[in-house]
Amino acid sequence: MATTCGLRTLKNEPVPLKSVSVEVDVQGHVASVNSTLQYENQESNPVEAIFIFPMDSNAAVYRFLARIGDVEIEAQVREKEKAKEEYDDAISSGQEAFLLEESDESSDVFRLSVGSLPPGQTASVTVGYVSELAVQADHALRFCLPAVLNPRYTPAGSSSMTTEASPQAGDVPYTLSLTMNIYTPSFVQSVESNCPLTPLAFLSQDKTQAKVSLAPGHRFDRDVELLLYYSEPHQPMAILEAGQLGVQSGSLMGDTVAMLSFYPVIEAEKSSHVASSGEFIFLVDRSGSMECPMNQNSGDKSRISSARDTLLLLLKSLPLGCYFNIYGFGSEYESFFPESVEYTQATMESAVEMVKSMEADLGGTEILPPLQNIYSKPCLPSHPRQLFVFTDGEVGNTKEVINLVKSHAHSHRCFTFGIGEGASSALVNGMAEGGSGHPQFITGSERMQPKVMQSLQYALNPVAKDIAMKWNIPAEVSVTPLSPPVNVLFNLKRVIQYFQLTGQNASNMSGSVSLHYIVEDKPFENKISFNLKPDADNSMLLHRLGARKAIVDLEGKVREGDDKSAKERAVELSIQSGVSSSYTAFIGVNRENKEPVQGPLQRRLMAARIYALTHILGCFCMLSYSCQSFVLMFRILLKKKKFGVNNSEEANISVEEPEDPMVDLIGLQRADGSWDLQQSLASILGKQEEEVVKASPGKPEFSSVWATVLAVLWLHGYKAESRDEWQFVAKKAMTWVRAHLLITAILNLLKSHFISS
């Protein structure tokens, strides 16, 4: 259900919020965002407005500006407790004041307090932040402006900022204007969105500059997602940004900051074989909120239903010989098996039946106990453990969960999937980054399966070891890392690192940096060469992103308790860079107003589900078998169009197609990768079982081979656009076909040999 946003009147009417406007500048893979809220106190008494809103956990909030009438107030970063005291003193004395603070528990929740706004007074608040754009499975760059902050479930004895406000039903009473300016080294191919956009306007002939906006009148009642497609999305690069003028060298803001982007190639030598090792544990959120639709449109698929379909696909995609288990959690948790079991036909069938009956029926969202249970079980030798976590992210104790995952990263990799609007980016990103895995977000009506399959591909790839950065620069230049060390690499997954360069001058000296790693005992090197002269850009975007990385790393060390001075350094860096942290806050006071605001102060809370103020952000090369006669016969059948492997009328579909035939087809696959020749398979192919059997080019013992090849061909012909979803299913199938034909050929040779003897 949609909930009302903005201040509330004494009659609980949502009226004061006048407009929300967002300006986004995208430079390559970095987005700089300025969001402005304008509202008015229409009550007869002064008000204190409290806004609780979501924010990308990786964003660096660096600007907070308020305007009351003709007075502009630039907020400053202070230590949090001091900022709160200054704010309380200001509103108690009738002054107008603003306080912006990050949640102590979750870095993706912020609270804005606007105090002592007089009756009839208008005010606007502008928040600026910068963030990296996440790369999607189809290589798009994703920018998201969340409209929803889900109330976080708070276990007994804990507190949560999102519980301060209670949801209010109603329609969103305002519209959102958003404009995005894009600047990129490679040309912009397209921009897609889940919301209506104006036509993409190119600002340069080479299409490296473009502009796009939301269509006028957009109602901000759902997350706004924009996907940017570049012609060359995987470009390794180094960008150097000069320090701030007038700031002393040796400090972060006074020195040059370098941003390095790598795209390592991690491929197995035996890529044609399906891996048979690994322990896969799927941890599925079954709290009551998983029954909600994927977005605010009530007709959309529920989150738990989408999770069920995805789990079924994963179960069919696992390799024989691995181990697996499935956990469901809510206020309590349960597992399908007491311990992880070997992946066989019997265990797969048992798990599939249990997945089909999974419901969102376990109450709250307490993810910590099942994680503790999983981590308490010993890992299996030669089977590295991989966690796949599916959740809508409504967790209150986010940082405690992340700490637990991080403490077991040496033995468990963690891949996370935030399901539906409002999923906590702090939880989803934090668990994946802390657990040396990869995060994914699934919102709106998009299918979860392609993103899950990308993560499965990452999990099955060989592990890169001994990862190190090696610099080749002049001796007088020293390098200080701002990002934590790289501890995991995935094939063609972007790696961004930030460094502070001290002793850097404006000369045209050159340098280079190399990313070194070892895969399957083979050394690799990715090298980037660059000019040491920094760009003449006073935006300081890279400095702020680098500062945010360093602050988050220091906050993690504080929670781990192994660095007593880390908090002090985090506060110092936050104040120096002007970038928010969990230990600091933005404070602004209107000191020009000498007349105190009169009347009793009314407090007004935003709904817990609210708008984002600032985030207001070769078809068959596998058929190269030795059995040439089989392949020849199959090709002849294809030419005769005896089976529907295209969408033309010649396919002669005689049976009504299932609602989701791909899911049905995959559901029929056996654990070893094969299909049995049966009527349910024939129906998906558009035939009767007798027709399929009659057309088989082999003997009866080849019926499963025939059925398996037809199933894979159907996937290639009908679902080519969904290849990312069924690639492991098809690979396992063709591995089984090759092995079966080879064994059959050997047995026939032996039979002939003994008969002739």
pLDDT for 172 beyond 60: no
Per-residue pLDDT at 642 = 41
* Domain final residue, candidates 460, 476, 501: 460
What value does the mean pLDDT take over residues 460-473?
A: 90
Per-residue pLDDT at 507 = 67
Residue 335 forms part of a structural domain: yes
Lookup result for tokens 């609270």: 111
What value does the mean pLDDT take over residues 613-637?
A: 36
pLDDT for 1 beyond 60: no
CATH number of the domain to which 183 belongs: 2.60.40
Per-residue pLDDT at 648 = 37
Per-residue model confidence as pLDDT tens digits over 433-450: 889 899 988 876 667 788
For the chain, the helix, strand and coil percentages under 3-state DSSP, each to the nearest 5: 30, 30, 40
What value does the mean pLDDT take over residues 365-375?
A: 92
What value does the mean pLDDT take over residues 330-339?
A: 94
pLDDT for 753 beyond 90: no
* Domain final residue, candidates 460, 482, 497: 460
Query: What domain range is 370 assigned to?
Result: 279-460
Q: Are 223 and 250 in the same domain?
A: no
Q: Are 92 and 173 in the same domain?
A: yes
Q: Are 582 and 563 in the same domain?
A: no
Q: Are 533 and 670 in the same domain?
A: no
Per-residue model confidence as pLDDT tens digits over 10-55: 334 443 667 788 999 999 899 999 998 877 777 777 777 777 777 8
Minimal CA–CA distance to 136: which of 144, 148, 145, 128? 144
Per-residue model confidence as pLDDT tens digits over 375-414: 999 999 888 899 999 998 777 788 889 999 999 988 899 9
Between these two residues, 391 and 161, which has the higher pLDDT value? 391
Gyration radius from the chain CA atoms: 29
Minimal CA–CA distance to 327: which of 316, 317, 318, 339? 339
Q: Are 442 and 398 in the same domain?
A: yes
Per-residue model confidence as pLDDT tens digits over 725-739: 888 898 888 888 888
Per-residue pLDDT at 297 = 59
pLDDT for 221 beyond 80: no
Q: How far is CA 338 from CA 320, 322, 327, 374, 653, in A?
A: 20, 16, 10, 11, 46
Q: Are 305 and 401 in the same domain?
A: yes
Q: Annotate 391-430 with DSSP letters as a single string.
A: E---BS-HHHHHHHHHHTTTTEEEEEEEESTT--HHHHHH
- Helix then strand count (H, E) for the chain reads 15, 32
pLDDT for 639 beyond 60: no
Residue 362 forms part of a structural domain: yes
- Distance, in Å, from the CA atom of 84 to the CA atom of 104, rounded to the nearest integer, reads 14
- Distance, in Å, from the CA atom of 514 to the CA atom of 340, rounded to the nearest integer, reads 40
Per-residue model confidence as pLDDT tens digits over 279-303: 999 999 999 889 888 766 556 778 8
Per-residue pLDDT at 71 = 83
Per-residue model confidence as pLDDT tens digits over 115-156: 777 788 787 889 999 999 988 878 899 998 876 555 554 555
Per-residue pLDDT at 644 = 41
Question: How many C-beta atoms surround the C-beta of residue 11 within 10 A?
Answer: 7
Q: Are 225 and 263 in the same domain?
A: no
Q: How much of the chain, in percent, has pLDDT values that exceed 90?
A: 36
Per-residue pLDDT at 105 = 78
Per-residue model confidence as pLDDT tens digits over 653-672: 333 334 678 888 998 999 99
- Distance, in Å, from the CA atom of 77 to the CA atom of 102, rounded to the nearest integer, reads 12
Q: Are 394 and 356 in the same domain?
A: yes
Highest-confidence range of 304-308, 365-369, 540-544, 599-603, by mean pLDDT?
Answer: 540-544
Q: Which range, of 31-45, 167-181, 222-236, 385-399, averages the lowest pLDDT?
A: 167-181
Q: At 649, is the pLDDT very low, low, confident or very high (cuts 50, 70, 90)?
A: very low
What value does the mean pLDDT take over residues 86-98?
A: 87
Per-residue pLDDT at 72 = 87
Q: Annotate 80-142 with DSSP letters as a single string.
A: HHHHHHHHHHHHHTT--EEEEEE-SS-TTEEEEEEEEEPTT-EEEEEEEEEEEPEE-TTS-EE
Between these two residues, 674 and 220, which has the higher pLDDT value? 674
Between these two residues, 637 and 546, which has the higher pLDDT value? 546
Per-residue model confidence as pLDDT tens digits over 679-727: 999 899 888 888 888 887 766 667 888 889 899 989 988 888 888 788 8
Residue 649 forms part of a structural domain: yes
Q: Are 584 and 632 in the same domain?
A: no
> Residue 457 is which amino acid?
Q
What value does the mean pLDDT take over residues 313-318?
A: 90
Cα 550 to chain centroid distance, Å, stands at: 21
461, 490 in Cβ contact below 8 A? Answer: yes
Q: At 228, is the pLDDT very low, low, confident or very high (cuts 50, 70, 90)?
A: very high
Instruction: Give the pairing of strands 510-519 and 224-230.
Output: unpaired
Tokens of 268: 């197995």
Residue 292 forms part of a structural domain: yes
pLDDT for 261 beyond 70: yes
Between these two residues, 606 and 121, which has the higher pLDDT value? 121
The mean pLDDT value of the chain amounts to 80
Per-residue pLDDT at 618 = 30
Between these two residues, 742 and 586, which has the higher pLDDT value? 586
Residue 603 forms part of a structural domain: no
Q: At 635, is the pLDDT very low, low, confident or very high (cuts 50, 70, 90)?
A: very low
Total number of domains in the chain: 4
Residue 610 forms part of a structural domain: no
Q: Are 260 and 288 in the same domain?
A: no
pLDDT for 472 beyond 80: yes
Per-residue pLDDT at 572 = 95
Q: How far is CA 359 from CA 15, 337, 662, in A?
A: 39, 17, 22
Q: Are 521 and 577 in the same domain?
A: no
Per-residue model confidence as pLDDT tens digits over 504-534: 765 678 899 999 999 888 999 999 999 888 8
Residue 157 forms part of a structural domain: no
Residue 745 forms part of a structural domain: yes
Q: Are 184 and 65 in the same domain?
A: yes
- Distance, in Å, from the CA atom of 754 to the CA atom of 150, rounded to the nearest integer, reads 72
What value does the mean pLDDT take over residues 566-570?
A: 94
Q: Which range, of 37-41, 254-258, 571-575, averages the lowest pLDDT?
A: 37-41
pLDDT for 202 beyond 90: yes
CATH number of the domain to which 297 belongs: 3.40.50.410
